[in-house]
Structure 1
């Protein structure tokens, strides 16, 4: 498999090689993929990194865009209404992509479970599905679902999931204050919740159990892999011969899963895509200077 840097550079070159007249019609120098998966955006919360997601959406193109659950945080909106203009802009950008020909598929999660009453319907060019199978350009059949059905806490004690969600919100607020101080001190972003997930034994065990449960479901269905969200931990790894993929989130990791035009699956981050966009602007500027 190609290293991440080479994969992204190849995708960038493919885009640069495209007809420049169509590039002007698209209105941006993006990175093109066959499919993109994003989840756990949590629109309607102060922790949502909507501005950065908006940059990511405007900088990328794909034949298919999968919204793999927890796009809008209904749990938090019931407790306290919060909806920034950037949250509106994210929704409008997705709708615009659908209108311009991107196949947009929304797989609801537990935080936007109200949308599940509309499973198998289409709204504004967006298809709503409970789960589905994505076939890559290499012929791999991947189960796509949010994953909350395989979370023992939600399945057996939903009240505990609400408590955990409230605690997570508190941690994120602390994180925002702490990282604003780090930014002033010239230090990089640091995630407390990600640190706890990797260091606390029970959290590590929970994540491992979740990953194995999803892989087992894909295996039971005779598929090659599974693509999910829910636990906010971007990952691609082999579990008993099944390719397990988690696209991460847009609260902390700012990550997405992508399939390139050759069918290879990779994780990409907002930082990487913004770096490629910067290269594109520099290249365009250089061409203008030469001409």
Structure 2
């Protein structure tokens, strides 16, 4: 079964046909060369575990370039893909798949072939993949949920989190209406950041800022976090790692460690575990901005020497 059949999409033609046929044959695809070559990083940052989610490949809002930069700078023994990796909702409405999205898939598959344990937990936007729970594709294990044990012995429930979103569960039509509104907001976000790039300004998320300011959104996020932490506690674990709401967070809720790894549409964040069990949220837009800011001083230091 190829990727087109899996997503329930009509098979595209022309250049898109070639791109998607390449994705369909996972083994050959992992052995091919990416359009955007891997950056020759001297020594990658190494972590015990990495969690990323809500990439939304197949949408214009996906920050594929920033994610590629992240994947080229870090490595880990284990990686969790915590849902909404591919946006099946959007692809069913309109096909969009630039070469950078191919290159993200290539890097994820290549990581598995290099020995990283990759666990893919589908979300609501890629829910069609849930029918393959228990199977492995190209070295990527598909699971409905997982229990992760940290280096310091804590047990964390890992799941996408849409199971605890009342709107997604009870009012699916409303979730789709919200998806349309969100897409419009992300279009504004792209235009604004194109303007900022023209003036050498760093990436800034309009939608992330809006959610932080709107009272109802803040209340929804808080309720979601508390419900999912309570559910994790009832399962006898020490904490929970999820995605879904595109809001990276790390806090204690009634003795349960709540971690949300964020997304690669708005915040461009990842959750990582160090080899001593310490957890950290990486804000990759900030990392890139700091790297760019440091470059002139490196040049000046070189000239001074």
Q: TM-score, normalised by structure 2?
A: 0.80
> In the superposition, relative to structure 1, how do residues 63 and 275 fare at CA in structure 2: closer, same or farther (>3 Å)?
farther
Q: Which has the higher contact order (CA 8 A, sep 6+)?
A: 1
Q: Does the CA-based 8 Å contact 2:148-2:156 persist in structure 1?
A: yes
Q: 1:148 aligns with which of 162, 175, 179?
A: 162
Corresponding position: 1:126 with 2:126: no
Distance 1:40 1:116 in 2: 16
Q: Using the TM superposition, give the Cα deviation of residue 178 of structure 1 relative to its aligned residue in structure 2, in angstroms.
A: 2.0
Per-residue deviation, 1:114? 0.3
Q: Which whole-Å CA distance do the structure 1 matches of 2:290 and 2:119 have between them? A: 26
CA distance in structure 2 between the partners assigned to 1:252 and 1:50 by the alignment: 12
Residue 158 of structure 1, CA deviation: 0.5
Alignment match, 1:208: 222
1:183 positional shift: 3.1
Q: Which residue of 2 aligns with 1:46?
A: 60
Q: Which residue of 161, 170, 183 corresponds with 1:169?
A: 183
SS of 1:66's partner is strand
Residue in 2 aligned with 1:195? 209
* Cα distance in 2 between the residues matched to 1:132 and 1:277: 35
Structure 1 residue 235: deviation in Å? 0.4
Unaligned runs of 5+ in 2: 1-38
1:79 matched residue in structure 2: 93
Deviation at 1:196, TM superposition (A): 2.0
Cα distance change, pair 168–236 in 1 and its aligned pair in 2 (3 A):
same
2:236 maps to 1:222: yes
CA distances 1:204-256 after superposition (whole Å, capped 9, x unpaired): 11101110111011100111000000000000000000000000000111100
Offset of residue 43 of structure 1: 0.2
1:232 aligns with 2:246: yes
Which runs of 5 or more structure 1 residues have no equivalent in the other structure?
Answer: 1-25
- Is contact 1:30–1:277 with CA below 8 Å preserved after alignment? no
1:201 CA displacement: 1.3
Number of residue-to-residue matches in the alignment: 259
State whether residues 202 and 289 of structure 2, in contact with CA within 8 Å, keep that contact through their aligned partners in structure 1: no
The CA RMSD measured in Å over matched residues stands at 2.2
Tell whether the 8 Å contact from 1:59 to 1:277 is kept in structure 2 after alignment: no
Per-residue CA shift, 1:150-193, capped at 9, x if unaligned? 00100110000000001000011012112222333454433221
Give the direction of change, closer, same or farther, for the CA distance of 1:140–1:276 in structure 2 (3 Å limit). Answer: farther
2:188 is the alignment partner of 1:179: no
* Alignment partners' CA distance in 1, 2:291 and 2:119: 25
Give deviations 1:48-90, integer Å, cap 9, x for gaps. 0111101111111100010000000000000100001010011
Task: Confirm or deny: 8 A CA contact 2:247 2:263 kept in the other structure.
Answer: yes
Give the deviation of 1:275 after TM superposition.
Answer: 7.3
Aligned partners of 1:275 and 1:186: how far apart in 2? 10
Could you tell me the TM-score, scaled by structure 1's length?
A: 0.84
**Partner of residue 50, structure 2:** 36
Over 3 Å counting, the alpha-carbon distance change for 1:231 and 1:65 in structure 2 is same
